[in-house]
Chains A and B, each alone.
Chain A
Amino acid sequence: MFVLHDAFFPVPCSLTKMNRTPIIFLNVLVIATCGLVYELLAGTLASYVLGDSVTQFSLIIGIYLSALGIGAWLSGFIDTGLARRFIEVEIAVALLGGFSAPLLFLSFARLSYFQVVLYAIVLGVGTLVGLELPLLMRLLKDTLAFKDLVSRVLTFDYIGALVASLLFPLFLVPKLGLVRTSLAFGLLNAAVGLWATWLLAPLMKGKVTGLRLRAVAVMVLLVMGFIKADSLTKLAEEDLFADEIIYTKTTAYQRIVITRSRAGFQLFLNGHLQFSSADEYRYHEALVHPAMMAAGGKPHRVLVLGGGDGLAVREILRYPTVESVTLVDLDPAMTKLSAAFPPLAELNKHSFADPRVQVINQDAMIWLENAVAPFDIAIIDFPDPNTFALGKLYTTRFYKLLKARLTPEAALAIQSTSPLFARQSYWCIMKTLEAAGFAVRPYQTAVPSFGVWGFALARLQDFAPPTVAPSGLRFLDDRAMQGLFASSTDTSPVPVEVNRLDNQALVRYYESEWKRYE
């Protein structure tokens, strides 16, 4: 059969004779499928990490398609050794495409780096795939009439696309996961390359051993990757989800997530930690008892704003004199969860089942405008002021509305973010309370899950901070109560503006301060 190896009838005839052409079209199918799978992987990971899937997918499709064009154009510069080049390209696709997802996973941590890797991979894979088809068509050009050649190559190319787009969401992602999908298709690519060394052997001058060795080496690497895939994914995802998620719900107002770890469980609202069951007692004892004791330790009518987890109410109900607790929290899903979700309900000692507790699901500011009965204690436990909607709950207007609903002897306590991480924000809250006509005693404590945490204790007249704690608490005793009010240099006052509805100074401080820690 090597007779035909002459200048006039180069190789293809031999292929025809061997009747290998149909098998070669299988090659086209695999190439097309793999190419599209890599593209889909890149798109999925990009939307996962960078968000905005519309932009990410269209960017990636755009880059991929134009890279195909670059590849096709480059193919014009290859004049000799078509078959050999074809197989080399195939092996290169296997290596780059196969490791694309693992590489992207590993560059999760640094976003700017991630984007560079992402677009480089898409461009690279696209260029290589773009090279392959023209090379293949040229290999086959004398075997088939031009019209059949074009029709078949394109048919298999598009069938490949269909296969990939069906397999990807239905089978690959759910069954294999992103990393293994990527590696598996790399293997498939490399295997096809290896196979082609036999298939196209008639067309290649010289030895093919080098090619085969390369293909095998790539396959070994990919198999190793496949075995290690689990630890790789873990490594990357560890940062995103630290613990097992035991409850999630997206309500009209927020996203609630509860996770469990060895130390207990944690509540997140919109991704921000609200408490950890391991140390929440420090936070809630510090939030509730200073106000209670400052007002004489015999509270009757208590108002809680925010605090839908019921943990502050648990502390409040320790006082037998309490006649009523009115809790105003925006989100009915949150208060229901606290009443009914066993680990939470146990943690808050079923405080929502107490007949003295009344729950109102409304925006606290709007509720305050119409509230009537005077309260002798107010405990304010809102999320940190990271949106304008929350920022309004820390304004002079809000505190003035609240003031009008308090008895003259009342005391109130406010969670006031961290005086260490968000010093301006903290002092802005203190200054705003003063501007609203309160006498303010700032205090702080350490809550391991949060760090150094700040509060405000306020009353309508000047007052001395409390020196005694009720008995039976886990954190506060008399000494610890006095210690709350000790000041420290790195959290001492800084000059700030008053937070008003018409300037929302606090949200702006908060954003600039926490940005530094993100």
Chain B
Amino acid sequence: MPSKEPSSQLKPTTVDLNKISPGAKESSPSKLENPLLDSPPLPISPSPLLPSASLTRRELLAAFLGLPVALAACSATKTPSLPQGEIVGASNDTGHRLRDGQHVEVAADHWQRVKVVIVGGGVAGLAAARKLLQAGVDDFVLLELEREAGGTARSGTSPLVAYPWGAHYLPAPMKENVALVGLLEEMGLLEGKDQDGEPIVAEQFLCRDPEERIFFKGRWYEGLYLRAGATSDDLAQFDRFNNEVKKLVAWRDAKGRRAFALPIANSSDDAEINQLDRLTMGEWLNRHSLTSPRLRWLVDYACRDDYGMTVEQTSAWAGLFYFCSRVKKPGDDAEPLITFPEGNGRLVNYLFDKAKAKARLGFAAAEIIPIETNGRAGVDVIAVSHDGETSRGFHAERVIFAAPHFLSRFVIRDYRDQPPAHVAEFEYGAWLVANLFLRDRPKDKGFPLCWDNVFYDSDSLGYVVATHQRGIDRGATVFTYYYPLCDEDPKQARQRLLDKDWAQLADVVLTDMSRAHTEIRSLVERLDVMRWGHAMIRPRPNFVRSAARREAAKAYRNIHFAHTDLSGVALFEEAFYHGNRAAEEIVGGKQ
């Protein structure tokens, strides 16, 4: 038990969780933003100026879906009947307890010595665990706040099919991404290599054709670029855009590096390319006189889909990264997508299986305290259980911090006292995800149901179909609906989302879906909602290629950082890369 570090000896090893809140800045204590959890403090009471429920509904729909639809949807004064369902995820019980400012004390006999503590069981934390095990290090624990591992890549199951709650695809990696190819090989997803040494992913794991369709003016069209009704100028601009992408795909720096590579760490740091991070994607399009509404829609959709930001908010570097990093050679199609009914849930479940014995699910790291004992550096970690009943302490040699970076200033003691400047640079967008359980499929006009189904006129991203990859082509199915809140101020977006209860959000989802599927309400038997308050890091200009971001990824004392946000974009490849990197910092590069 003998931690000889004075601070942890003299002071009781407790932490006032009420203090670990950025809400301290705000005046009302009841509105403290909880850093660990995305559950709302309290629903904001409706303003007395809102006279009737119908107006509230109209305003709600207007706020999420824009006015025209909202008006159309509000011919009925009352919310139409809703299916069953609930808000899932975001552990509310722990949330409340933590908000109540409970003190975490660790009994002396609840301390344990381990070599490594991994904080966070998302892709990054699980990848780090796999790497440690591969290197023969098995003296570690992995703390995961939620009762399930997987983080933003986790998934759910129903008797019919598994379905995603967040990340749902991974583009097939190129041979240069050796570590990721290795994972896929280990999982049995590869059939071999082609003559260029590129991995061949087995057919059944590649997104089944037809992949995407788009709903426009009452009809579905194949693909994401709306060709129907495009003028010759639209098409010419589309070609010009593709040519710009080709140029950037072909681009190499003096060291032979690509402009945009996966993982991002392998990308060129040439000034010419880094310059792109100064602009928004919208400005970049303007500079190239790319004004075609359809083209801008496509690029905007790409930004919202990958980053939860509009074309006017996203860094041009990040926007172009999306289009260029997954294309091998100029003119090639983008790499095919690997997907499963449960999305990237399949990948994290595999990783979790390997590390299961080390995982403490439902245990959050409440405080991380770098220490120095007799000249030996170490880290004490205090963890609290989901129900708040149990606490545990770990004397670790090292910590891998694989939770979102903004949390570092609330749980790392030194950061709490004196947060480094870079932490404030990490901004996160909020996302609404819903799973709709349908008794049967809606009838369609135009191109048939695809994996990804997008509405041209909506702020949402539409929905993916879980049964598509499973090969279940008729009858009951599960649709996963995605909606990034792209407000200028991410805090406001978060508030806007977390204020809303299940019924309100279900109504938003169903109203949006009914643009294309008028009968949707009669088909949905159940609708569950996930509110991701801190869903994704926001790659706004001057962040992805910034010094602040690079700074954040550097180890602090014996704490090694690993989370996708350290790359400035939220991607499986990046989370996996940082997990491996952080583990390698501990076990030494090559095993």
Identify the A interface with B (CB < 8 A): 252-253, 330, 363, 365-366, 387-389, 392, 395-397, 500-504
Contact = CB atoms under 8 A, between A and B. Distances in A.
Interface residues of B, number: 15
Contacts of B207: 502
A389 B203 contact: no
A396 B209 CA distance: 13
Given A387-B448, A392-B208, A395-B203, A502 B336 contact: yes
B206 A502 contact: yes
A298 B448 CA distance: 44
B210 interface: yes
Contact of A397 (B203, B210, B473): B203
B203 A396 contact: yes
Contacts of A389: 473-474
B472 interface: yes
Interface in B465-497: 470-475
Given A387-B448, A395-B203, A397-B203, A504 B475 contact: no
A388 B209 contact: yes
B472 A363 contact: yes
A504 B204 contact: no
B471 A363 contact: yes
Interface string B60-75: 0000000000000000
Contact of A502 (B208, B470, B474, B475): B208
B472 A253 contact: no
Interface in B201-230: 203-204, 206-210
Contacts of A502: 203, 206-209, 336
Contacts of A395: 203
A363 B471 CA distance: 9
A501 B473 contact: no
Contact of B209 (A253, A365, A503): A503
B473 A504 contact: no
A474 B589 CA distance: 74
A252 B208 CA distance: 23
A500 B203 contact: yes
Interface in B151-186: none
20 contacts: A252-B475, A363-B473, A363-B474, A365-B471, A366-B471, A366-B472, A387-B473, A388-B209, A388-B448, A388-B473, A389-B474, A392-B473, A397-B203, A397-B204, A501-B208, A502-B203, A502-B207, A502-B208, A502-B209, A504-B210
Interface of B: 203-204, 206-210, 336, 448, 470-475
A501 B206 CA distance: 8
Contacts of A387: 448, 473
Contacts of B448: 387-388
Contacts of B208: 392, 501-502, 504
B238 to A, nearest CB: 22
B203 A252 contact: no
A123 to B, nearest CB: 24
Contacts of B473: 363, 387-389, 392
B199 to A, nearest CB: 15
Given A363-B472, A392-B473, 9 more contacts: A252-B475, A363-B471, A366-B470, A388-B210, A392-B208, A396-B203, A501-B204, A502-B208, A502-B209
A253 B440 CA distance: 11
B471 A392 contact: yes
A234 to B, nearest CB: 32
Contacts of B209: 388, 500-504
Contact of B203 (A330, A366, A501): A501
B338 to A, nearest CB: 10
Contacts of B474: 252-253, 330, 363, 389
Contacts of A504: 208-210
Nearest to B445: A52
A447 B207 CA distance: 38
A388 B474 CA distance: 11
Nearest to A500: B203
Contacts of B470: 366
A500 B471 CA distance: 13
B159 to A, nearest CB: 14
Contacts of A396: 203
A502 to B, nearest CB: 4
A396 B336 CA distance: 17
A110 B448 CA distance: 26
Contacts of B336: 502
Nearest to B449: A388
A61 B254 CA distance: 70
A379 to B, nearest CB: 21
5 nearest A-B residue pairs (beta carbon): A389-B473, A504-B209, A502-B206, A397-B203, A501-B208
Q: Which of B207, B471, B472, B475 has the most CB of A within 10 A?
A: B471
A163 B61 CA distance: 42
A363 B476 CA distance: 14
Nearest to A254: B474
B463 to A, nearest CB: 17
Contacts of B210: 388, 504
A443 to B, nearest CB: 27
B467 to A, nearest CB: 10
A247 B210 CA distance: 34
Contacts of A366: 470-472
Nearest to A503: B209
B371 to A, nearest CB: 53
Nearest to A55: B218
A153 B460 CA distance: 53
A200 to B, nearest CB: 48
A96 to B, nearest CB: 32
Contacts of B203: 395-397, 500-502
A397 B207 CA distance: 13
Contacts of B472: 363, 366
B553 to A, nearest CB: 35
Contacts of A501: 203-204, 206, 208-209
B207 to A, nearest CB: 6
B219 to A, nearest CB: 11
Nearest to A396: B203
Nearest to B471: A365
The CB with the most chain A CB atoms within 10 A, among B203, B470, B474, B475, is that of: B203
A504 B451 CA distance: 13
Contacts of A503: 209
A397 B208 CA distance: 11
A252 B472 CA distance: 13
A389 B471 CA distance: 8
Contacts of A330: 474
Nearest to A502: B206
A252 B206 CA distance: 28
Which of B204, B207, B475 is most buried by chain A, counting CB atoms within 10 A of its CB? Answer: B204
A421 B382 CA distance: 72
Contacts of B204: 397, 501
A368 to B, nearest CB: 10
B211 to A, nearest CB: 8
A388 B210 CA distance: 8
Nearest to B207: A502
A314 B473 CA distance: 29
A180 B417 CA distance: 91
A457 B69 CA distance: 56
Count chain A CB atoms within 10 A of each CB in B210, B448, B473 and give the residue with the most.
Answer: B473
Nearest to B440: A252
A365 B469 CA distance: 12
A253 B210 CA distance: 20
Contacts of A500: 203, 209
